[in-house]
Structure formats: structure tokens, C-alpha cells
Amino acid sequence: MSLWQKCLVRLENELPEQQFNTWIRPLHAVEAADSLQLLAPNQFVLDWVKKHHFNTISRTLHDLGQNVTPRIQLDIGSTNKTPATGVITPGNRVPERPVPGQYKSNLNGDFTFETFVGGKSNQLARAASIQVGENPGGAYNPLFIYGGVGLGKTHLMHAVGNLILEHKPDARVIYLHSERFVADMVKALQHNAINEFQRFYRTVDALLIDDIQFFAGKERSQEEFFHTFNALLEGQQQVILTCDRYPKEVTGLEERLKSRFGWGLTAAIEPAELETRVAILMSKAAQSNTELPDDVAFFIAKHIQSNIRELEGALRRVMASARFTGRPIDLEFTREALRDLLALQDKLVTTENIQKVVAEYYKIRVSDLLSPRRSRTITRPRQIAMSLGKELTSHSLPEIGNAFGGRDHTTVLHACRKVAELRDSDARINEDYKNLLRTLTT
């Protein structure tokens, strides 16, 4: 047992367990004959340990080292010198000098077009992405993909990158989250390496930046990104961006950036419809070599509507429970495994809640929805609320009719059919319906 390991055993017994696990456990020791270097993951931990635990560590080492205390040095660092994906960006190589030509893509190889499940909700974004993958730096530059959380924006972005690499294996394709761009820039400024930073980002073949809404309010980063963006577009290098909303709607972003984001192609991803959610579940299950019966996939997809991550989370839970219990995945088993999750959802979506949300949305009163009034301004929201009731709750048609001022089940049936028809013919009604669905399920 090394000196530090002995010290850990002692400290684990002396310090409250929580403090030990928070501040001491994350330290990594590099031991030499007469010195001990302790690496903290960040400046904050280092400062805390120095202030609150250094004396205890020092005393303990002194006791254990039979009164010969090694020289203790606290630094920032870890054993993992490079991230697992191995991308080398100015941020994680500063302050070392960059090695010319050293580059390794950090794309996720699992995110390809083959594993991306297409549907009505994403067909334009998918088609545009394939175009860009086939012909980077061409007409669709930048490609701006936007949509709510967990709908597959990042997957599409990686898929484009992977396709570019498939056609041109030596292409320099860089994927990063906007936060990483900001962090890299800050580090480059701190280390006087902004020129390297600029050179690095301006010489890639394709730059993929995720969640650019996080640039909001960061003026210096926006400035830097603006110039990088211009340089890339001028050089016909591809830029792909994702965002949680339409460019013009991002507050805290400079106007000139917003307008440039619209220069290429802007494509939306909508929440996936039931059939696509089912197909996604089947695809994910197949990737894990799990057989998922159709009725189970429909059951999960019908209950989890908010986003694909939650859908995946539910599937993972079912698969984990099946592994643990050794039981086959069938409807009864799935219902049991997801009971907690679904109980919460059911609690959330009640007929009363639907009525309240729909009334608020259309700026009418709940009592209007329940009243006998038949004017268009009331009837339409009422039909939509009934249709949502059918889709989101497990209530029967008579139960729903009853909850809407004692109406007949045929009225509910008519409402559901009418809404389905209107959603196909009237984009505004379709948009309203989707907004309400999202509000009620997230």
C-alpha cells in the first residue's frame, strides 16, 4: 500500500464520510520518493482542499511517514490527459504547443443516417442533412437545425459529419458544444493563444456547433464566432448549427449573427408522432439486440410523448428490469416496470388539466368548454380538448363526454375525427394542437 493509500484509509475514518467523498476522494496522487503531488480536478476543489484539508493531510502523512513528511504539492490535473474521444482542440492542448497535423475526429460513430429514424416530424431536416453530407460547403451553408430538446438534432448533426468522413476520410470535421467553444476561447485568451485558436477553428473542413442558444449574452464569444463563421463560409467550409429555436427568436444573440444563420438552410425538427416514436423504440431495441414486441413499443410510445431521450430512458428501464428479473419483455411486464414513471404521467394529464390548459391557450373560460354554447370560438377549442383527452388519458369516450358538461360519446367521437381532419388541412390548428400536446406532456 502506498503512502497516499494509507493516508486515504486514515482520512476516511477521521473525516465525515460525505466530506471525504466530496473533497478527498477525487484527488489523484502522483508519488515520488520525497514528494507527493496531489491533483485536484479543478481550481475550486484545489482551493477548498488547500484551505480546509491541507493541514490534516499534511499531519496524517507526517504520522504515517514516520516523521518524514514528503513535500506535498497541490496542482490541477487528472490521469485522463485527453478526453476519451481524443479530439485535440486548442482548449485542451493549451498551454502546450499544438502539433501540426495532429487531428482526430470526435464524432460519435453511432449517430449515422442509418440509425436515424425518419418520419414526418423530421423529413426536411433529414433530407437537407443528407444533402450537406453529400456536398459539404455547397448551397446549404450554414445548415441550421432547430427544435425542442431531445428530438434528434445532435444525432442528425453527427450523421452529417460521419457522412462527410465516409466520402473524405481525411476531412477535418469538428463537433463541439457551444459551451466548449466558449471555454476554449477563454483558455486561449488566458494563455495568449488566441491566434492558434483562430487558426484551429478556421482551418477545419466542417464545424458542427451544438446548442448555439448558449452563446446568448456572451458577447466576446459571439464576436469570435462571428469571424470564424465568416471565414469558414468564405472558404466554402461547412458550418452546421443546432439551436432550440428559430434563429430570430434567440434572445441575447447579436442581430448580425442571427441574420447570417439564416443565409443557408434552416430546418425544423418537430416532436415525433406516434409511429415514429414506435419506430425509434424498435430501432433502439434492435441496436441493443433486444426483441421488442410491437404492442410493447406502442404502449411505451403512447405514454411517453415528450421527447426521444425520455423514450429511450423508458426503454432502458424495461430492458434493465428484464435483465435483472430474467423475465421476457411483454406488455404486462412493461406496465409493471414503468409503473412509477407512468403513474406520474397519468397524474399530470387529467381531463381537468387538459381543460384548464386549452382554455388558457384560447383565452376562454373552462366553464365555456363545459357549457352548451356552440359558437365557433368555443366549439373548436372544445373539440381539441376532447381529442387531447382521448389521446392523453385512458378515459373512455363516454367518460370524456361526461367531463365536458355531460355530452354524448358520439360528440367526442365526432370531435376526434374533426380535429384529425383539421390537423391535415389547417396548419394553424395543427400547430395549436402540437403546442398543447407539448405543454401537457413536458
- Contact positions toward another protein, by CB under 8 A? 8, 16-19, 21-22, 25-26, 28, 41-45, 48, 76, 78-80, 83-85, 87, 106, 148-150, 177, 179-180, 211, 214, 244, 306-307, 309-310, 312-313, 316-317, 320-321, 324-325, 340-341, 344, 348, 442
The 10 Å Cβ neighbour count of residue 31 is 14
In the complex, least distance from residue 423 CB atom to another protein, rounded to whole angstroms: 24
CA atoms within 13 A on the CB side of 27: 29
Q: Which long-range contacts (CB under 8 A, 24 or more apart) does 380-386 make?
A: 380/429, 382/415, 383/414, 383/415, 383/418, 383/419, 384/358, 384/415, 384/419, 384/429, 384/432, 384/433, 384/436, 385/354, 385/355, 385/358, 385/359, 386/411, 386/412, 386/415, 386/416, 386/419
Cis peptide leading into residue 98 (ω within 30°):
no
Helix (H, G, I), strand (E, B) or coil at 104: coil
Residues, the chain: 442
What contacts 86, CB < 8 A, 6 or more positions away? 104, 106
* CB nearer another protein, residue 108 or residue 430: 108
What contacts 190, CB < 8 A, 6 or more positions away? 94
Tabulate helix, strand, coil % of the chain (nearest 5).
60, 10, 30
CB 205 within 8 A of CB 136: yes
Can you tell me the distance from the alpha carbon of 247 to that of 242, in angstroms, rounded to the nearest whole number? 10
* CB nearer another protein, residue 207 or residue 397: 207
In the complex, least distance from residue 368 CB atom to another protein, rounded to whole angstroms: 29
* CB nearer another protein, residue 179 or residue 368: 179
In the complex, least distance from residue 93 CB atom to another protein, rounded to whole angstroms: 15
Q: In the structure, how many helices (H) and strands (E) does the chain have?
A: 22, 8
Q: Is residue 293 within a helix (H) or strand (E), and if so which, with residue range?
A: none
In the complex, least distance from residue 256 CB atom to another protein, rounded to whole angstroms: 25
* CB nearer another protein, residue 4 or residue 299: 4
**Residues paired with residue 174 on neighbouring β-strands, in sequence order:** 207
* CB nearer another protein, residue 217 or residue 398: 217
* CB nearer another protein, residue 231 or residue 268: 268
Helix (H, G, I), strand (E, B) or coil at 210: strand
Beta strands in 223-353 (DSSP E): 238-243, 265-269
CA atoms within 13 A on the CB side of 99: 7
In the complex, least distance from residue 83 CB atom to another protein, rounded to whole angstroms: 5
In the complex, least distance from residue 194 CB atom to another protein, rounded to whole angstroms: 21
* CB nearer another protein, residue 167 or residue 327: 327
* CB nearer another protein, residue 205 or residue 310: 310
* CB nearer another protein, residue 324 or residue 372: 324
